[in-house]
Amino acid sequence: MSTELRILVVPGALRERSLNRALARAAVREAPDGVAMALHELHGIPLYDGDVEAAGMPEPVAAWRAAIAGADALLFCTPEYNSSVPGVLKNAIDWASRGPDSPLGGKPAAIAGASPGRFGTVRSQTHLRQVLQFCGVEVMAKPELYHAQAAGLVGEDGEWRDPEALERLRTHLEAFAVWVRARG
């Protein structure tokens, strides 16, 4: 691990005005001292197909895997779809999990999420934690970060603006950086 912690921030949504993409951009802006946050979007990753994999990893998949490999840690910003992880994110994790050279093994990660509903992605995060742990990812247990009723937390420009929500995000990022560093 270099002295500057490299954290890859992964939003589990594609749409332009996504709350979770906005949360991921806010995480990049609010990076604690000594932490370099890089956004990795999942656009262009095809649906997992073993025949395509056998012919060689498609370029967006290779780029996704390389980005994970080059990071010290991962931060997932996930929506909740039907009480679980959106297919976009699960599919990307499936691609990254493949082969003995999967970059996920042993990688530390944290999870955050935002939803306009009352539960703030708690069910999605529970499932994502289970999937990641199966892939060998070490997921930070606490603190957790759930943003419920999050439509009111972004400004007209679609960016994360609510001061209290930003403070909770900063606290989460700082705790994550401390936890990753403590692992050595």
Ligand X SMILES: Cc1cc2nc3c(=O)[nH]c(=O)nc-3n(C[C@H](O)[C@H](O)[C@H](O)COP(=O)(O)O)c2cc1C
Residues that bind ligand X (CB under 6 A): 13, 15, 18-20, 79-83, 115-117, 119
Shortest spacing between CB 10 and ligand X, in angstroms:
12
Q: Which residue, 98, 76, 71, 60, is CA-closest to 5?
A: 71
Cα–Cα dist 69/64, whole Å: 9
Shortest spacing between CB 79 and ligand X, in angstroms:
3
Shortest spacing between CB 156 and ligand X, in angstroms:
16
Cα–Cα dist 101/149, whole Å: 39
When the beta carbons of 19 and 61 are compared against ligand X, the nearer one is: 19
- CA–CA distances in Å: residue 100 to residues 8, 72, 81, 104, 105: 21, 19, 30, 10, 9
When the beta carbons of 101 and 157 are compared against ligand X, the nearer one is: 157
When the beta carbons of 106 and 117 are compared against ligand X, the nearer one is: 117
